[in-house]
């Protein structure tokens, strides 16, 4: 048993070592190695097959119910699969590392204990071709279903020129309904007036009631994780910023934190506080945006306009502090790029006063106005124990009364260990609950910003760091406005990362929210799906199902057929190209 | 929760007398902060030609061109259409030759290239 401990056992690390001791007792010589690189982190390595036993123990005996993600790694001679579990009681992020041989890339799935690992394992299968035995539905997730068999783009020996896009057959999704049925498939997305997210759902409806929902998120996969490997760590910051347009700051924070862990540098306190402040700016603008969108989804555009007008306040402040309205670009490896001046502090305080007043008004309206409550109360009920099983994150799980928040469970990525704040929850378990949580979080964020301005330490805002990052690996996460954002970074001693793994909250919330749509009206589907604040990018072709005939007639169109139809349609009406 | 219709009413009435929130762009313009990350400006007299800006640019918007006016014999030009205004180049430049300015009206029918040696400070891609 190799001990890779970098920090000796101290009183501060007693939770970390408690887990290590449990694992030692359970696995004996099967615990190949372990390390505790810093507070809140435990890494254990077990042989293939024993991870199931370890996870079973963690889940059943130690109450670890949350899985952050599953990472795949290609190490030339073998694969590695990392299961990242978060122990919320002990505040420890546990990583179980399992080496998998290349000849027989198979291991047992952990979906028995962590059903929430479903999509993550599918992603690893998709990108690396590692088979998870016992997985309920192992097929491609991010790449198209028709992507050639045996091609897995994140394997190191895979190059894009091995792959000929012309050879990939166009997607011909099979009709999902049996021939004789009264059910109807409704295509929601990628271009629906109400749901602007480019994602496609096949909603199977019986009358007006949703029977089942099949999500398709595989189109237009951007390949960011591969792109990270081809850029330097510094360029990676701006890539991370563009993973999501709205959570820009929320992504750079864990990215920079993970690289700083690898470099072993500490951000100066003032830098940490400024980072945290901009993260809260980010949360405020995202939540205000969401309140607007939610109201827009139910057709209440007055409220949409009001909340977006007030969002300008926070965007202007971001502009003032960071130099741009949405992409803050304030984090850099080793600290922040800009200091704040007294004049800016004065302006931020004034902005916070306006926002506080406005947020209180919203809270009143949200809790009282029937226009909203009629559409939100009782819609999209999600059972807290189901959400816990599915490892849901963010306002979705807090809206069902489960008190989890990465800022609270693992506060070291920012200054959250020094700042007092409440984790807002609601026990309504429905869309209204998620709404209330977000409005409460707005007030909480304003308080955090005020606290930061009152207690802003003096001194430097950044430290100089070398370009080359020593070999190693680190994980970091952040509570983005939508939930947990998770980064795993492995470096190999050069100025480029070997592997960057990103996981975003929409993935964690996708399956639970789909479950909650079943049995509700079609009209509620969009609001319900919108209540997770979805953030995806994709594209699709069209399916038409004609049920007016006695025997339903189905035909599937490809992009090309669709385009031809469009041209003919216009020509028939006298349009010329 | 108290359900009632019209919790919004006082808010609506209040907003009747408020100024409009939008500005009549392009006739009115909002003032941007000094440190806004807008159009690139470049001072060839300060540049040493070290090439760090081109090395760190995440979107490959900077190209080094030969010149006799800098020490290392090259200077950067910026393809504005490719730049994403992250200001990493400004930060890494050891001599402060690059500055981002609060100029944001950059739409053009042709692709603009900021080039200190061009007569107007910029030229268009052919
Ligand atoms: S601002 Fe960013 S993208 Fe634009 S030239 Fe500079 S480094 Fe490149
Ligand atoms: S980093 Fe500055 S000094 Fe170096 S080439 Fe670029 S502009 Fe010139």
Q: Which atom of ligand 1 is nearest to the CA of B87?
A: 1
Q: Global pTM?
A: 0.88
Residue B56 Cα: closest atom of ligand 1: 7
Question: Which residue of chain A is at minimal alpha-carbon distance from B85?
Answer: A324
Q: Give B87→chain A minimum CA distance, Å.
A: 9
SS3 assignment, position A287: helix
pLDDT in tens, chain A (577 residues): 444 545 566 777 888 888 888 888 888 888 888 888 888 889 999 998 889 989 999 998 888 899 988 999 888 889 999 999 998 888 889 999 999 998 888 999 998 888 888 888 988 998 888 999 988 888 888 777 777 777 788 888 877 666 666 666 665 666 566 666 667 777 777 776 666 667 778 888 887 888 888 877 766 677 788 888 888 999 999 988 888 878 888 899 999 999 999 998 999 999 999 999 999 999 999 999 988 888 888 888 888 999 999 999 999 999 999 988 888 889 999 999 999 999 999 999 999 999 999 999 888 888 888 878 888 888 888 888 888 888 888 888 998 988 888 888 888 888 888 899 989 998 888 888 888 899 999 999 999 999 999 999 999 999 999 999 999 999 998 898 888 889 999 999 898 999 898 888 888 888 888 888 888 888 787 777 777 766 643 222 233 333 333 333 334 444 455 556 656 666 666 655 4
Domain boundary among A473, A503, A533: A503
Q: Indicate if A471 and A364 belong to the same structural domain.
A: yes
Cα–Cα distance list, A476 to A85, A503, B65 (Å)? 12, 11, 40
Cβ-Cβ pairs closer than 8 A, A with B, add up to: 74
Residue A258 phi/psi, 5-degree rounding, is -65, -40
Distance (Å, whole) CA A577 – CA A546: 30
Domain shared by A154 and A229, yes or no: no
Interchain proximity B86–A232, CB inside 8 Å: no
Which residue among B51, B55, B83, B115 is best mutated to probe the pocket of ligand 1, counting the most ligand atoms within 8 A of its Cβ? B83
- pLDDT tens digits, B59-73: 889 999 999 888 999
| Pairwise CA distance, residues A305 & A302, whole Å | 5
- Are both A142 and A271 inside the same structural domain? no
User: Are residues A449 and A322 part of one domain?
Assistant: yes
- Domain carrying residue A74: 14-160
Mutate to test the interface with A, among B10, B12, B86, B99 (most CBs of A within 10 A): B86
Q: Does the CB atom of residue B87 touch ligand 1 within 6 A?
A: yes
Q: Residues A155, A228: one domain?
A: no
Q: Provide the angle, in degrees to the nearest 10, between the axes of the packed helices A269-297 and A342-368.
A: 30
CATH number at residue A100: 3.30.460.80
Main-chain dihedrals φ then ψ at residue A324, nearest 5 degrees: -155, 155
* Interface list for chain B against chain A, based on CB atoms closer than 8 Å: 1-8, 11-12, 15, 21, 32-33, 35-37, 56-59, 84-88, 91, 100
Q: Are residues A258 and A341 in the same domain?
A: yes
Q: A353 lies in a domain?
A: yes
Name the domain boundary from A441, A472, A503. Answer: A503
Question: For atom 6 of ligand 2, which residue has the closest CA?
Answer: B53
Q: Mutate which of A368, A431, A436 to disrupt the B interface (most B C-beta within 10 Å)?
A: A368
Q: Compute the distance from residue B115 Cα to the ligand 2 centre, in Å.
A: 13
Q: Which atom of ligand 1 is nearest to the CA of B59?
A: 3
Closest CA to A181 of A452, A557, A545: A545
Identify whether A263 is part of a domain: yes
Residues A267 and A374 in one domain: yes
Q: Which residues in chain A have Cβ-Cβ distances shorter than 8 Å to B8?
A: 302-303, 365, 369, 371
Asked if residue A110 is part of any domain, the answer here is: yes
Q: Do A37 and A130 belong together in one domain?
A: yes
DSSP string, A352-381: HHHHHHHHHHHHHHHHHBHHHHHHHTTSS-
Say how far apart CA A433 and CA A379 lie, in whole Å: 10
Q: In chain A, how many domains are there?
A: 2
Query: Is residue A488, in this structure, part of any structural domain at all?
Result: yes
Q: Are the Cβ atoms of A371 and B8 closer than 8 angstroms?
A: yes
A173: which DSSP letter?
P
Do A440 and A307 share a domain, yes or no?
Answer: yes
**Which residues touch B17 (CB under 8 Å, ≥6 apart)?**
none
Which residues of chain B does A232 touch, with a Cβ-Cβ cutoff of 8 Å?
56
A149/A424 Cα distance (integer angstroms): 46
Q: Go through the domains of chain B in sequence order and give each one's CATH number.
A: 32-124 (3.30.70.3270)
- Domain limit, last residue, from A503, A520, A545: A503
Please indicate, yes or no, whether residues A234 and A354 belong to a single structural domain of this protein.
yes
User: What is the average pLDDT across B87-105?
Assistant: 90
The answer as to whether A559 is a domain residue is no
Kindly state whether residue A546 falls inside one of the protein's structural domains. Answer: no
Tokens of A55: 């996870």
Residue A69 placed within a domain? yes
Three-state DSSP class for residue A167: helix
**CATH number of the domain that A409 lies in?**
1.10.645.10
Q: Is residue A66 part of a domain?
A: yes
């Amino acid at each position: 048993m190799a001990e890779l401990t970098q920090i000796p056992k101290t009183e501060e690390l007693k939770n970390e070592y408690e887990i290590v001791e449990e694992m030692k007792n359970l696995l004996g010589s099967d615990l190949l190695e372990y390390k505790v690189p810093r507070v809140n982190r435990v890494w254990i390595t077990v042989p293939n097959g024993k991870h199931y036993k370890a996870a079973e123990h963690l889940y059943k005996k130690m109450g670890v119910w949350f899985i952050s993600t599953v990472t795949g790694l290609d190490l030339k001679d073998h694969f590695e699969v990392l299961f990242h579990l978060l122990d919320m009681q002990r505040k420890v992020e546990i990583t179980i590392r399992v080496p998998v041989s290349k000849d027989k890339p198979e291991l047992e799935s952990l979906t028995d204990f962590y059903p929430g690992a479903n999509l993550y394992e599918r992603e690893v299968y998709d990108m690396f071709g590692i088979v998870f035995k016992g997985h309920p539905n192992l097929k491609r997730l991010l790449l198209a279903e028709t992507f050639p068999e045996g091609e897995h783009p994140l394997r190191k020996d895979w190059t894009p020129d091995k792959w000929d896009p012309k050879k990939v057959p166009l997607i011909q999704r099979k009709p999902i309904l049996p021939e004789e049925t009264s059910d109807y498939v409704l295509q929601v997305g990628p271009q629906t007036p109400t749901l602007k997210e480019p994602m496609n759902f096949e909603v199977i409806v019986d009358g007006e009631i949703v029977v089942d929902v099949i999500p398709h998120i595989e189109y237009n996969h951007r390949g960011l994780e591969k792109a990270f490997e081809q850029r330097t760590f510094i360029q990676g910051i701006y890539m991370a910023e563009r993973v999501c347009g709205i959570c820009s700051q929320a992504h750079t924070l864990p990215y920079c934190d993970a690289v700083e862990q690898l470099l072993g540098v500490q951000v100066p306190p003032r830098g940490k506080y400024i980072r945290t402040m901009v993260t809260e700016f980010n949360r405020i603008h995202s939540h205000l945006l969401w309140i607007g969108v939610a109201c827009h989804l139910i057709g209440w555009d007055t409220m949409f306009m009001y909340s977006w007008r007030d969002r300008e306040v926070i965007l202007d402040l971001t502009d003032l502090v960071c130099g741009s309205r949405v992409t803050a670009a304030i984090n850099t490896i080793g600290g922040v790029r800009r200091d704040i001046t007294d004049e800016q502090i004065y302006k931020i305080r004034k902005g916070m006063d306006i926002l506080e007043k406005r947020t209180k008004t919203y809270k009143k309206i949200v809790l009282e106005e029937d226009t909203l409550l009629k559409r939100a109360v009782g819609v999209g009920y999600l059972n807290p124990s189901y959400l816990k099983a599915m490892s849901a994150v963010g306002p979705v799980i807090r809206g069902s009364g489960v008190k989890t928040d990465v800022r609270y469970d693992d506060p070291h990525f920012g200054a959250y260990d020094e700042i007092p704040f409440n984790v807002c929850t609601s026990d309504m378990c429905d869309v209204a609950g998620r709404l209330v949580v977000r409005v409460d979080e707005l007030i909480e964020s304003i308080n955090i910003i005020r606290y930061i301005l009152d207690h802003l330490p003096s001194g430097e805002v950044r430290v100089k760091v070398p370009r080359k990052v020593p070999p190693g690996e680190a994980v970091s996460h952040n509570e983005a406005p939508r939930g947990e954002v998770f980064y795993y970074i492995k470096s190999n001693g050069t100025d480029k990362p070997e592997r960057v793994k990103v996981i975003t909250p929409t993935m964690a919330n996708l399956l639970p929210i789909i479950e909650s749509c079943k049995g509700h009206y079609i009209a509620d589907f969009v609001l319900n799906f919108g209540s997770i604040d979805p953030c995806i990018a994709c594209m699709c072709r069209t399916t038409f199902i004609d049920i007016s005939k006695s025997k339903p007639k189905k035909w599937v169109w490809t992009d090309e057929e669709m385009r031809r139809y469009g041209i003919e349609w216009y020509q028939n009406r006298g349009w010329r190209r | 929760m108290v359900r009632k219709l019209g919790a919004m009413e006082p808010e609506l009435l209040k907003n009747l007398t408020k100024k409009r929130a939008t500005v009549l762009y392009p006739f009115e313009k909002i003032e941007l902060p000094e440190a806004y990350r807008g159009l690139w400006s470049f001072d060839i007299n300060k540049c040493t030609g070290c090439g760090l800006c081109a090395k760190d640019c995440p979107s490959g918007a900077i190209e080094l061109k030969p010149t006799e006016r800098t020490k290392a014999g090259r200077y950067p030009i910026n393809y504005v259409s490719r730049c994403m205004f992250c200001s990493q180049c400004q930060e890494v430049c050891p001599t402060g030759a690059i500055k981002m300015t609060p100029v944001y009206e950059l739409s053009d029918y042709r692709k603009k290239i900021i080039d200190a040696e061009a007569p107007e400070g910029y030229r268009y891609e052919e």
